[in-house]
Structure formats: structure tokens, C-alpha cells
Structure 1
């Protein structure tokens, strides 16, 4: 008998993995990257997005950001700090560095200005 487990994960648990490779390179090697991340964390890796780093507009450096969640089968989710600590072990970090991993950061969520405006319209009150 098999069962389906569904977990709701807060966006604050997003982990941004910064690669010094092109988006096409990262996409082509995604299975290898996920395999190495799973080996390091022993968690399921769910990719939320893959994109060019908009904070680095310089053409001299290629930067791709993979936004992911790291989830254990019991629903526990890892933070970026926990992921970084697990991946920093040399047996795991070397393979990921070879694939272009340069940094791990917590995902910065967009400003809540939209939400303030949205909720203020619902409540009939405007925020400055």
C-alpha cells in the first residue's frame, strides 16, 4: 500500500543556490546537482525555480540561481544555514563546486508592499 503525503512549506524556507555557470549548463546538469544535494543533506530536493541572477547584471560573470526546498519525509524543512553546514563537508562540497556552486543564501522575498496595498483595499483602509 502506498500513500501520498502533501506538505505546505513556507516560502521563508527557500534556499538560493548560486552557481557560476550558465542557466543552460545548470539545467543540463540538474540531475547530478540534485543527487549531490540529496547525498549531502539526506533530504528530498524540490526545485522552485532556476534563473539568471538579476542582482548581478554584469556580462563579465555568468551567475545562475537555483531556488530550492530541502524537505525530509516527515515534513521537516531545512534552512539555508543548515543546508550550508551539511554541504560544507569536503566529501560533498567538492563535487558541487565542480558543478559551479559558489554560494548558498536564504532566499530574499520581494517587498510586502503589494500585500499591504492588497490588504488595505480589502479592509477599506489605505497604507501610506
Structure 2
């Protein structure tokens, strides 16, 4: 139906005699796994390029109402300022989830699972002779 200057657009609105604002007509739910994909991509953006054998960042998310609690696992280059790298990931993840999903992010836990040595490719992959 077409709305003409405040006229009801649905049969329910016509019966009740009131109009419902567009934002109040329904609900949008964003799945946890979608927010996790946003968070993982944001972590990739924050850490930059990784060696070819690196595992890309991954995230798990628990959403409660409009709050997203995020846990990110990632690998970093070595040597690096691990604290600064984790801080950059936290800020980027919180910013992108808020921008793209419209959720507040009170917590981003970052777990560094592995460090990559820039000097020796393949270091840390087991024993070498």
C-alpha cells in the first residue's frame, strides 16, 4: 500500500486507527557468526600482512541484546610490540562491529596464538637440521 500523508499502510493499522513508525514495525537480528566474521575481518585489517603460512585471525562472539562480547585469536610477526598490536586489534574490532552491526562492544579479548619470525621463514614449525 502507498502511504498518503499519514494514512495507515497495513490492515492492522487501519483497524487500530493508529500508524506505526517504520522503526517499530519489526526487529532485525544479526547472528553471532555474522558479527564474528566482521570481527575477524577487522582484526585482519588491524594487523596487516602476515606470512603465507599464517592462519588468519578468527573470532567468536556472544551477542546479548545490542552488546557483543568478542574473542579474537591471531598470529603476529616477531619481533613486534605485542601490547600495541593487541590494542590496535581491540580498537579496530570495536569500531567496525559498531559501524557495521550497530552493536556496542564492551569487551574484545585478544589471544596471541603464535609469533612469526621475520628473519627465518618457517621458524616455529618444528625441528630443523
TM-score normalised over the length of structure 2: 0.35
Larger RCO: 1 or 2 (CA < 8 Å, sep 6+): 1
User: Looking at CA atoms only, which structure, 1 or 2, has the larger radius of gyration?
Assistant: 2
